[in-house]
C-alpha cells in the first residue's frame, strides 16, 4: 500500500531536523579539514578566514556560524596534539623491547610526526600552551607523558636496566624534562632541528638513567 501525501509530508517534517544537523556537521567538518590543509601548506599566520571559506566553498559568514575565529580552529587542532601523544604512548609504552628501545622509539616517532607537520605542529603546541599551561602544571602535553614514563622506568628498574638509586618518579621527571628541553628550544627557534634533536635528547636521557655496571677489576701493575 502506497503512503498517503499526508504521511509523506509528516515523514519529511520529522526527518528534516536530522538532515539539517547532518548538513551542519558536514559543513563544519569541511571547514575544519580545509583550514587544517591551508595551515599546513601556508602556515597559520598566512591563512585568512576568507581563504578557508573559499576552500570549503562557503561564505565567510558561514565560517563564523561554526567557528568564532581562526584562533578557535587552532584551539581545536590543539586537541589533536594530545590525541597524538596518547596514541604514541599506547604504541610504545610498553612494548616487548627494552626500556631504552621503548624510550628512544617514542622520541623518534614523536620527532617524525613533528617533522611531517613542522609549521602547523609548532603553532598548535604554542596555542595549546597559551590556553592551558599553568605554573602548577607546566605544558599541558607533558601531563600525558609523566605517568607512562614513570611506569616504564619502574619496569626497567625491576629488570635491572634502570638505576635504582633514585625513585622512578624522580627519574621520570628528569627524562621528561630533558625531552621537553628540545621541544622548548624548537618552540623558541623554528629552525631548530627538532626531528634530529628529540631522539638525541632521548639517548642522552637514557645515559642518565641506565643502570651503571661495575667496572671490571684491573690487575695490579706489572702482572
> Is residue 181 packed enough to be buried (19+ CB in 10 Å), middle (13-18) or exposed (0-12)?
middle
Residue with cell 586537541: 79
Residue 157's pLDDT is what?
Answer: 95
The CATH code of the domain at 17-66 is 1.10.10.60
* Distance between start and end Cα atoms, the chain: 108
DSSP for the chain, please give it. Answer: -PPPHHHHHHHHHHHHHHHHHHHHHHHHHHHHHHHHHHHHHH-STT--HHHHHHHTTS-HHHHHHH-S-HHHHHHHHHHHHHHHHHHHHHHHSS-SS-HHHHHHHHHHHHHHHHHHTHHHHHHHHHHHHHHH-BTTTBSGGGHHHHHHHHHHHHHHHHHTSB--SS-HHHHHHHHHHHHHHHHHHHHH-TTS-HHHHHHHHHHHHHHHHBPPPPPPPPPPTT-
Cβ–Cβ contacts within 10 Å for residue 139, how many? 18
Whole-number pLDDT of residue 216: 45
Look at residue 182 in the predicted model and tell me its pLDDT: 92
Q: Would you give per-residue pLDDT tens digits along the chain (223 residues)?
A: 455 665 655 555 556 667 888 888 899 999 989 988 888 888 888 889 999 999 999 999 999 999 988 888 887 887 777 778 888 888 888 777 899 999 999 999 989 888 877 778 788 777 777 666 555 555 666 777 888 999 999 999 999 999 999 999 999 999 999 999 998 898 888 889 999 999 999 999 999 999 986 444 445 555 5
CATH class of 78-209: mainly alpha
Let me know: does 205 contact 175? Beta carbons within 8 Å.
yes
Q: What is the pLDDT of residue 161?
A: 95
Query: What pLDDT score does 214 carry?
Result: 42
User: pTM of the entire structure?
Assistant: 0.71
Domain ranges of the chain: 17-66, 78-209
Note whether 115 and 197 are within 8 A (CB): no
Give the per-residue pLDDT at 63.
Answer: 92
Strand-pair partners of 138: 134
* Contact partners, residue 58, CB within 8 Å, separation at least 6: 27, 30, 31
Q: How far apart are CA 128 and CA 121, in angstroms?
A: 10
pLDDT of residue 83: 79
Amino acid at each position: 500500500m502506497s503512503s498517503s501525501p499526508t504521511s509523506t509530508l509528516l515523514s519529511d517534517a520529522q526527518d528534516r531536523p536530522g538532515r539539517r544537523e547532518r548538513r551542519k556537521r558536514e559543513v563544519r567538518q569541511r571547514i575544519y579539514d580545509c583550514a587544517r590543509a591551508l595551515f599546513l601548506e601556508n602556515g597559520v599566520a598566512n591563512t585568512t578566514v576568507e581563504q578557508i571559506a573559499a576552500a570549503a566553498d562557503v561564505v565567510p559568514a558561514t565560517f563564523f556560524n561554526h567557528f568564532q575565529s581562526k584562533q578557535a580552529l587552532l584551539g581545536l587542532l590543539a586537541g589533536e596534539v594530545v590525541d597524538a601523544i596518547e596514541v604514541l604512548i599506547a604504541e610504545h609504552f610498553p612494548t616487548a623491547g627494552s626500556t631504552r628501545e621503548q624510550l628512544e622509539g617514542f622520541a623518534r616517532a614523536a620527532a617524525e610526526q613533528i617533522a611531517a607537520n613542522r609549521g602547523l605542529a609548532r603553532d598548535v603546541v604554542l596555542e595549546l600552551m597559551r590556553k592551558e599551561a599553568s605554573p602548577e602544571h607546566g605544558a599541558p602535553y607533558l601531563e600525558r607523558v609523566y605517568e607512562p614514563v614513570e611506569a616504564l622506568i619502574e619496569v626497567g628498574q625491576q629488570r635491572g636496566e634502570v638505576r635504582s638509586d633514585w625513585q622512578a618518579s624522580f627519574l621520570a621527571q628528569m627524562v621528561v624534562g630533558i625531552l621537553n628541553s628540545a621541544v622548548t628550544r624548537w618552540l623558541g627557534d623554528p629552525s631548530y632541528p627538532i626531528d634530529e634533536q628529540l631522539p638525541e635528547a632521548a639517548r642522552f636521557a637514557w645515559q642518565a638513567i641506565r643502570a651503571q655496571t661495575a667496572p671490571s677489576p684491573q690487575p695490579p701493575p706489572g702482572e
